[in-house]
Amino acid sequence: MAYGFGGKILRVDLTHERIEIEKLDDAFYRRYIGGMGFVAYHLLREVKPGTDPLGPDNRLYFFTGVLTGIPVPGTGRNSIGAKSPLTGGFGESEVGGFFGVELKRTGYDGIIIEGKASHPVYLVVHDDTCEIRGAEPMWGKSTKESREMILEELGDDKVKLAQIGVAGENQVRIASIICDLRYAAGRGGMGAVMGSKNLKAVAVRGTKKPAIARPDKVMELARWMADNSKALVPSYHDIGTGSGVIGMSQSGGLPTRNFRSGSFEGVESLSPYTMRGNILKKMDGCFACPVKCKRVVEVESPYRVDPAYGGAEYETIASFGSNCGISDLRAIAKAHELCNAHSLDTISTGVAVSFAMECYENGILTKEDTGGLDLRFGNAEAMLALVDMIARREGLGAILAEGTARAAQRIGKGSERFAIHSKGQEIPMHEPRWKRGLGIGYAVSPTGGEHCSNVHDPMYEKDTPDMESVRVLGIIDTIPIDDLGPRKVRLFTYLLLYRYLQNSLVVCQFVPWRPDQISDLVSATTGWNTSVWELLKVGERSANMARLFNLREGFTAQDDRLPERFFEPEEAGGLGGLDRGRFEDALELHYAMMGWDMNGVPTRGKLYELGLEWALD
Partner 1 sequence: MRVWVRTFGDIYLPQAPNGLDHSLDIPPGSTLGDLLGILMIPPESVGIMSVNGARANESRLLHEGDRVDISSPIGGG
* Residues at the site binding partner 1, with contacts judged by CB under 8 A: 230-235, 238-239, 241-244, 246-248, 250-251, 253, 268, 272-273, 313-315, 318, 429-430, 451-452, 454, 456, 458-459, 461-466, 509
Our CA dihedral for 391, 412, 350, 174, rounded to 10 degrees, sits at 50
User: Least distance (Å) from partner 1 to the CB of residue 251?
Assistant: 6
> Which is nearest to 471 in space by CA: 508, 435, 516, 438?
516
User: Least distance (Å) from partner 1 to the CB of residue 616?
Assistant: 35
Q: Which is nearer to partner 1, 330 or 430 (CB)?
A: 430
Please answer whether residues 612 and 604 qualify as being in contact, where contact means their C-beta atoms are separated by less than 8 angstroms.
Answer: no
Q: How many residues does the chain have?
A: 617
Please answer whether residues 134 and 119 qualify as being in contact, where contact means their C-beta atoms are separated by less than 8 angstroms.
Answer: yes
Q: Which is nearer to partner 1, 59 or 435 (CB)?
A: 435
Report the interhelical angle of 380-392 vs 346-361 (nearest 10°). 120
Rounded-to-integer distance, Cα 164 and Cα 196, Å? 11
Q: Which is nearer to partner 1, 409 or 509 (CB)?
A: 509
Type of residue at 467? M
User: Least distance (Å) from partner 1 to the CB of residue 477?
Assistant: 14
Q: Which is nearer to partner 1, 239 or 489 (CB)?
A: 239
Q: Which is nearer to partner 1, 398 or 452 (CB)?
A: 452
For the stretch 301-305, contacts whose Cβ atoms lie closer than 8 Å and that sit 24 or more positions apart, written own/partner, are 301/330, 302/330, 303/330, 303/331, 303/333, 303/334, 303/384, 305/279, 305/330, 305/333, 305/334, 305/336, 305/337
CB atoms within 10 A of CB 45: 11
Please answer whether residues 512 and 470 qualify as being in contact, where contact means their C-beta atoms are separated by less than 8 angstroms.
Answer: no
**End-to-end CA distance of the chain, in Å?**
36
Please answer whether residues 112 and 12 qualify as being in contact, where contact means their C-beta atoms are separated by less than 8 angstroms.
Answer: yes
Please answer whether residues 83 and 43 qualify as being in contact, where contact means their C-beta atoms are separated by less than 8 angstroms.
Answer: yes
Q: Which is nearer to partner 1, 88 or 240 (CB)?
A: 240
Q: Which is nearer to partner 1, 159 or 467 (CB)?
A: 467
> Which is nearest to 190 in space by CA: 92, 270, 108, 47?
92
User: Least distance (Å) from partner 1 to the CB of residue 314?
Assistant: 3
Strand ranges in 78-173 using DSSP code E only, listed in sequence order: 78-83, 90-95, 110-114, 121-126, 129-134, 160-163
Q: Which is nearer to partner 1, 515 or 600 (CB)?
A: 515
User: Least distance (Å) from partner 1 to the CB of residue 582?
Assistant: 22
Q: Which is nearer to partner 1, 315 or 540 (CB)?
A: 315
User: Least distance (Å) from partner 1 to the CB of residue 92?
Assistant: 17
User: Least distance (Å) from partner 1 to the CB of residue 243?
Assistant: 5
Q: Which is nearer to partner 1, 378 or 480 (CB)?
A: 480
Rounded-to-integer distance, Cα 79 and Cα 95, Å? 6
> Which is nearest to 146 in space by CA: 118, 121, 170?
121
Q: Which is nearer to partner 1, 114 or 457 (CB)?
A: 457
User: Least distance (Å) from partner 1 to the CB of residue 468?
Assistant: 12
Greatest distance between any 2 Cα atoms in the chain? 66
Type of residue at 31? R
Rounded-to-integer distance, Cα 367 and Cα 360, Å? 8
Rounded-to-integer distance, Cα 68 and Cα 504, Å? 10
Buried b (16+ CB within 10 A) or exposed e, 293-312: bbbbbebeeebebbbbbbbb
- β-strands 121-126, 199-205 pairing: parallel
Q: Where are the alpha helices (DSSP H) in 126-244?
A: 143-154, 166-169, 190-196, 215-232, 234-238
Q: Which is nearer to partner 1, 464 or 531 (CB)?
A: 464
Q: Which is nearer to partner 1, 277 or 412 (CB)?
A: 277
Q: Which is nearer to partner 1, 319 or 415 (CB)?
A: 319
Q: Which is nearer to partner 1, 76 or 240 (CB)?
A: 240
User: Least distance (Å) from partner 1 to the CB of residue 430?
Assistant: 7
User: Least distance (Å) from partner 1 to the CB of residue 574?
Assistant: 13
SS (HEC) of 274-332: HHHHHCEEEEECCCCCCCCCEEEECECCCCCECHHHCCCCHHHHHHHCHHHCCCCHHHH
Rounded-to-integer distance, Cα 437 and Cα 427, Å? 15
User: Least distance (Å) from partner 1 to the CB of residue 14?
Assistant: 36
Query: Which residues share a beta bridge with 130?
Result: 125
